[in-house]
Amino acid sequence: MNKESEIKNAEVAIVKDNTPKSTILKGIEAIGGISKFIKEGDQIFIKFNLNLPTAFPTNTNFDVLEALITTCKKAGAGKIFLGSFPFKSISINSISTTLNLEAYFRNLGAEFVYLDNSNLFNKKNIKKDQLEKISRESFSMVAINEKEFLVPKVILDSDKFIVVNQVNVNPLFKLNLSLLNSYSMVPPKYQEIETNESQDDNYVALDQYKKDLISNMLDVFSIKQPDLIINDLFYLLERSGPCIYKDSYLQKTGIMVLGNNAVSTDLITLKLLNIETQGYKLILDAHQRGLGIIDPKLITLVGEDIEQNSIFVELCASKLDEINLKNFIINSGQICSGCFKQAYHLLNLMKTHMIKDLKYNPRNALLVGLNPGEPERFDNVLLFGDCAIRSTNNCNFRRIKIIPKKSSTKKKSSKKSREIDLQNKKKIKFKTNKNILELPGCPPEITDCLNLIFKYYGKGNLPNLSLLNNFLKILIDPKSKEKLRITGVI
């Protein structure tokens, strides 16, 4: 763990050039050259974005990685490892197979590390105890602030730790900064925020989820701080991100921000992108915990001028209804960051890959958060998350009026029958509304939500989701998922 006293100075370089390769090389030169960071024979670990088995910019630009590996090799680096943990349920093997990463990095002279050991999952007759043993051998349990984190030994044992971070917009933190990138050096299970069912409403009101998340992120960050940080915004993903969605757009800025301290590098990146840093909790908390410098006077800034290169970025939707999903009305109550993030991804995923499904199923209402209110004009109600399910138990939409059938033949209304009608009017009957889909979880898992949606609407009404499910089956193998559980990754 680094202590505040250890952070003597922070150097940050803003560089601009014509290609991603030349920009990173220029950046490294600007902060003193690679030999300032790497000594002969050093074992290097490069942590990059490896979220999904999709292409750039969901994952880091491979041209940048190639330039970095070549530079490290020139500086005499010993072994160069690369890796990261992807989103939950997806094995690294699945990503590597889809993008052919292992061979690609091998050809560059570096080793792609299956941090989750998923490359061994396909070995014949591999048993549970063998997997547990492999897990014990490849991970170390690190305790920080009364929490325990499973950290790959290869990261802990490396002499130098470099973070190459693709800057994309992010629904919770506005931008994917290097501090967020560092978080996925621990398995998804250790990135999850523990919530318990008996949470009171204050949990949501105070957005305890985000507080816990930031605290967790900084705990992980403090385990192994990077020696070199590269915030790559040469191509900046804006409007909708950090994955590739329908509204995603790439802004070519030609800029990268490099530094020797993640907090300072992220701070300068935020300033460059005109994001308010005064209330940016992640950076402030990191500073308070002595993990970085935020005082501009103590940051040595080299390269391009911030003011002259200021970039305006279109951030992603800050409210769920801004996502503008066809045939969906979105009612948000008090919502914590956990549910917001998951709902944001689910809605964007639907907008991107379920265009036809959305058209086929009109008049839907998605209720998220605490007390989301009564939906108006709907055929189907989707309750997203435990809060929404719990707080709408007594809502009117849960029940629907039974309209008594009128007799087909008109009879003369006798006095008796008029009395019966009057009594019926007084006793309005209700039945349970079955057109409600509950998507439980705190926050709910996206893959689970998709499965529930598929069951609820039916295959015939969801041709896009049928196809998407087939892709997901290829990517998320249930056997691998089980093995990831055994090895403690998820």
Partner 1 sequence: MINKKFRENWVKILDFNSNFVPGDKTKLTTKKIRIPLTPIEINPYLLYNLFEILYPKFINSQQNVLDIIISDDGRNILKLYLYKTKKAGIHESLETLPNDDIKLHKKDFDDVDKFYNRILEGLIKKKRGRISSIRIFKEQAISYINRYCLDIEDLPFDVLLIRFLDLIQELINKKLFIIYPEPKIFNFLKDIINFLNGYRLNNLFKIAYSYLPVFNMSFIFGAKTLTFILHVQKIFISKSEQPYLRLKLLIPEDLEIDFEGLSENEILELVNERLQTDQSYFIHQNNVISLLTEITNLSANVKKENLFLIFQKLLFGYRSFEKFWFLKPKPVIYNNSLRFITRLLGFNVNLRKLSHWAIPDLISNLFDSWFGLNSQILVILTDIQQTKNLNLKNFNYLVEVSEYNLLFEIENKTLTKIDSITKEELFNSTTEIESLESIRHNLSEKFGFLTSIIIIDRQLIQDFIKHFIFEQSKYSPLSKMKTLKMLKKQKFFYLFPEFPPYTLLKKKGTISFLKLVLPILIDKHEF
Q: What are the CA-CA distances from residue 129 to residues 133, 137, 340, 481 (Å)?
A: 6, 12, 38, 16
Least gap, CB of 313 to partner 1 (angstroms): 14
Q: Which is nearer to partner 1, 58 or 191 (CB)?
A: 58
Q: Which is nearer to partner 1, 60 or 260 (CB)?
A: 60
Distance CA 423, CA 431 (A): 18
- At a CB cut-off of 8 Å and minimum separation 6, what does 149 contact? 141, 142, 143, 186, 190, 219, 220, 223
Least gap, CB of 186 to partner 1 (angstroms): 26
Three-state DSSP at 339 gives helix
Least gap, CB of 389 to partner 1 (angstroms): 31
Q: Which is nearer to partner 1, 108 or 186 (CB)?
A: 108
150: which strand partners? 141
Q: Which is nearer to partner 1, 430 or 471 (CB)?
A: 471
Q: Which is nearer to partner 1, 61 or 208 (CB)?
A: 61
Sequential DSSP letters for 368-420 = ESB------S-SEEEEESHHHHHHTTT-GGGEEEPPPPPPSS-----HHHHHH
User: To 10 degrees, what angle do helices 92-99 and 101-108 make?
Assistant: 70
Least gap, CB of 61 to partner 1 (angstroms): 7
Which of these, 147, 151, 121, lies nearest to 139 by C-alpha position? 151
Which of these, 380, 358, 384, 367, lies nearest to 445 by C-alpha position? 384
Neighbours of 396 (CB within 10 A): 12
Q: Which is nearer to partner 1, 12 or 450 (CB)?
A: 450
Distance CA 92, CA 480 (A): 10
Least gap, CB of 253 to partner 1 (angstroms): 12
Place of tokens 């069912």: 197
Least gap, CB of 449 to partner 1 (angstroms): 19
Least gap, CB of 354 to partner 1 (angstroms): 10
Q: Which is nearer to partner 1, 104 or 454 (CB)?
A: 104
Alpha carbons within 13 A on the beta-carbon side of 329: 15
Least gap, CB of 60 to partner 1 (angstroms): 11
Least gap, CB of 113 to partner 1 (angstroms): 18
Contacts 24+ apart (CB under 8 A), 34-41: 34/71, 34/72, 34/74, 34/75, 35/75, 37/75, 37/160, 37/162, 37/227, 37/228, 37/260, 38/72, 38/75, 38/76, 38/77, 38/160, 39/76, 39/159, 40/75, 40/76, 41/76, 41/77, 41/78
Distance CA 364, CA 382 (A): 7
Distance CA 259, CA 275 (A): 19
Q: Which is nearer to partner 1, 21 or 79 (CB)?
A: 21
Q: Which is nearer to partner 1, 96 or 135 (CB)?
A: 96
- The answer to whether the beta carbons of residues 23 and 17 sit under 8 Å apart is yes
User: To 10 degrees, what angle do helices 337-353 and 463-475 make?
Assistant: 110
Least gap, CB of 10 to partner 1 (angstroms): 31
Q: Which is nearer to partner 1, 70 or 300 (CB)?
A: 70
Residues at the interface with partner 1 (CB under 8 A): 19, 21, 53-58, 61-63, 66, 97-100, 103-104, 107-108, 235, 237, 244, 246, 248-250, 252, 352-353, 355-356, 359-360, 460, 463-464, 466-467, 470-471, 474-475
Q: Which two tokens stand for residue 88?
A: 């939950």
Q: Which is nearer to partner 1, 107 or 432 (CB)?
A: 107
Q: Which is nearer to partner 1, 103 or 141 (CB)?
A: 103
Least gap, CB of 205 to partner 1 (angstroms): 37
Distance CA 190, CA 135 (A): 15
Q: Which two tokens stand for residue 434?
A: 């079955």
